[in-house]
Amino acid sequence: MNKHISNIILAGALALTTFSCNKDLNRVPINTTTAQDVFSTAASTKEALAKVYGAFALTGSTGSGSSDLGGIDAGTSDFLRLYWNAQELPTDESICAWGDPGISDLNFMSWTSGNILLNGLYNRSLYQITVVNSFLRSTEKPASGISATDLTHYRAEARFLRAYQYWVLMDLFGNPPFIDENSLIGTVPPKQIMRADLFKYVESELLAIIPDLAAPKTNEYGRADQAADWALLARLYLNAKVYTGTDRSTDAITYATKVINAGYSLMPKYKNLFMADDNKNNPETILSINYDLNQTQNYGGTTFLVNGCIDGNIPGGPSAYGVPGGGWGGNRARSPLPKLFGSDYTTSNDSRAKLLQGNVYDISSVSTFAQGIKTAKFSNMNSDGTTPANASVYVSTDFPLFRLGEQYLIYAEAVLRGGTGGDMATAISYINKLRERAYGNTSGDVTSISLPFILDERARELYIEGFRRTDLIRFGEFTTSTYIWPWKGGTAGGRSVEDKYNLYPIPSSDIVSNTNLVQNPGYGGTTK
């Protein structure tokens, strides 16, 4: 692998799509490549691992028009696009102008169990889990020529990716069906796992695989290592009270500290974290979803994040963002986000505010993209000002799933929540590291911090990176009247909504087809 694991994703896509179904289960495979062929060599086993990773970055195996999922447009079936919509559109950070099916329900916090985008995310996560399970079953016996160390790493990485997707399902849907490599496929419907039990499973998996993962910063770019595992554990523990009712702030401090001490440092320029060459000389990103405008073409991922946040009226036009053939004009900020940088964000010395564009804060017409400050944070330009070769619409910018900046924020919040093993002085120093990068000097330093400050600082540092819904729920402000933002609940002035919206519903299609599942409270049908 060089820049991107995507260089072998296409081969891997074939590798794990050769398993097909027919009513006659005793048929001889009609594909020229069988499972035995796929996992017969070290090279082909690595290609199959690439498909496990590729389930993040690809919608299907044959280009942007294909999808591994049924019942949803291929262009909207990418994991990151679906996850981003679910995490950002219902919040104070983002709102979308498009009338695509499912979008308005997310904008206005009025979704049902039939929402097509939520169904797509649910199925995309389960799809990647299924791909992992297939990989684990097929690698129980080592292929010819593969080293024991490599195979141990491969299997641990696959288990990490499965744990990540189960965390996604736990965070958003609470109580999904559960399958692993030992599940009997096609015999009985999978059983449901309750949220607290799924927390225990994800935690136990992440702890168990630590010795089998590569040491921090020693694996190939785009592959998980121990630091990624610790980073997910820190995130898991920070939200543990939401998931289980038990605070685990001390554990959040422990694992955030492990990441912080693992040799990472902040990218000197904040904007360079979100550019087409963010894979080069990047000391901050721990694990990313990797995209390449030639090899991983689809209308999700960072292609969606770049094009969806700009249109032809952006200063410099789409070419200034490395997409001369793009600019879709969909997603922009609700007014609270830019105002976190001051009443006039354009006068702020915070470089994070410099990635915003526009001067119309208020949105009276949701479908009018010209209204609302543009969150033009992601770009397909290189950091030296050049445009990648062949650029038009697709994007080569990698998306940071985990980066050091988040771990600083986790540490600080966990200390404020009473976790032990950390101290306030260190927490403040980590926050000031972020602010010194943002301001270019110490003029933005703080001498004290509070939980409300941390919620705001997380928005300033992590906006449109897919954190906001989870953050607002953890702070008790997602559905309640304690914090109202424009268009919350579907009214221009905003309103509180039912607490049921703290969890997304299990898709009605799965409830109907799997009698082992019960619906989350408030969404109709049988519930627990």
Confidence of residue 526 (pLDDT cuts 50, 70, 90): low
SS3 state at 288: strand
Question: Percent of the chain at pLDDT above 70?
Answer: 91
437: left (phi over 0), alpha (psi -120 to 50) or beta: alpha
Question: Percent of the chain at pLDDT above 90?
Answer: 84
pLDDT of 23 over the 60 cut: no
SS3 state at 109: coil
Confidence of residue 59 (pLDDT cuts 50, 70, 90): confident
Confidence of residue 1 (pLDDT cuts 50, 70, 90): very low
Per-position DSSP letters for 258-287, written without gaps between them: HHHTTT----SSGGGGGSTTTTSS-SSEEE
The structure tokens listed for 402 are 């985990």
Higher pLDDT pick, 16 / 387:
387
Dihedral angle sign, alpha carbons of residues 506, 132, 234, 248:
positive
The structure tokens listed for 303 are 């292609």
For residues 333 and 94, the answer to whether their CB atoms sit within 8 Å is: yes
**Cα–Cα distance for residue pair 196/256, rounded to 1 Å:** 22
For residues 4 and 12, the answer to whether their CB atoms sit within 8 Å is: no
Global pTM reads 0.93
The Cα-based distances of 324 to 321, 335, 378 in angstroms read: 8, 28, 15
Confidence of residue 10 (pLDDT cuts 50, 70, 90): very low
pLDDT recorded at residue 39:
80
pLDDT of 35 over the 90 cut: no
pLDDT recorded at residue 105:
98
Residue with tokens 């649910």: 122
Per-position DSSP letters for 185-238, written without gaps between them: TTTSPPPB--HHHHHHHHHHHHHHHGGGSPPTT-SPTTS--HHHHHHHHHHHHH
Question: Which residues have a Cβ under 8 Å from the Cβ of 458 and sit 6 or more positions away?
Answer: 409, 413, 467, 471
Backbone angles phi, psi at 331, to 5 degrees: -100, 135
pLDDT tens digit sequence for 440-459: 999 999 999 999 999 999 99
**Cα–Cα distance for residue pair 97/282, rounded to 1 Å:** 33
**Cα–Cα distance for residue pair 494/340, rounded to 1 Å:** 18
Hey, what long-range contacts does 190-195 have (CB within 8 A, 24 or more apart)?
190/514, 190/516, 191/516, 192/516, 192/517, 192/518, 194/528, 195/170, 195/243, 195/244
Confidence of residue 33 (pLDDT cuts 50, 70, 90): low
Strand partners, 287: 402
For residues 442 and 323, the answer to whether their CB atoms sit within 8 Å is: no
Type of residue found at 119 = N
Confidence of residue 221 (pLDDT cuts 50, 70, 90): very high
* C-alpha 510: how far from chain center: 23
For residues 156 and 54, the answer to whether their CB atoms sit within 8 Å is: no
The secondary structure of the chain in percent helix, strand, coil, rounded to multiples of 5, reads 45, 5, 50
Number of H helices, E strands in the chain: 18, 6
For residues 192 and 175, the answer to whether their CB atoms sit within 8 Å is: yes
For residues 459 and 434, the answer to whether their CB atoms sit within 8 Å is: no
Pairing mode of beta strands 285-289, 399-403: antiparallel
With vertex at residue 93, the alpha carbon angle to CA 88 and CA 95, rounded to the nearest 5 degrees, is 70
b/e for 240-254, b at 16 or more Cβ within 10 A? bebbbeebbbbbbbb
pLDDT recorded at residue 8:
40
Per-position DSSP letters for 302-332, written without gaps between them: HHHHHHTT--TTSTTTGGGGT-TT-----EE
**Cα–Cα distance for residue pair 490/497, rounded to 1 Å:** 10
Backbone angles phi, psi at 29, to 5 degrees: -55, 135
> Whole-number mean pLDDT of the chain?
92
pLDDT recorded at residue 189:
85
Q: How many CB atoms lie within 10 A of CB 451?
A: 13
Fold (topology level) of 33-212+491-527: 1.25.40
pLDDT tens digit sequence for 266-305: 999 999 999 999 999 999 999 999 999 999 999 999 999 9
390: left (phi over 0), alpha (psi -120 to 50) or beta: left
Domain definitions of the chain by residue range: 33-212+491-527, 301-397
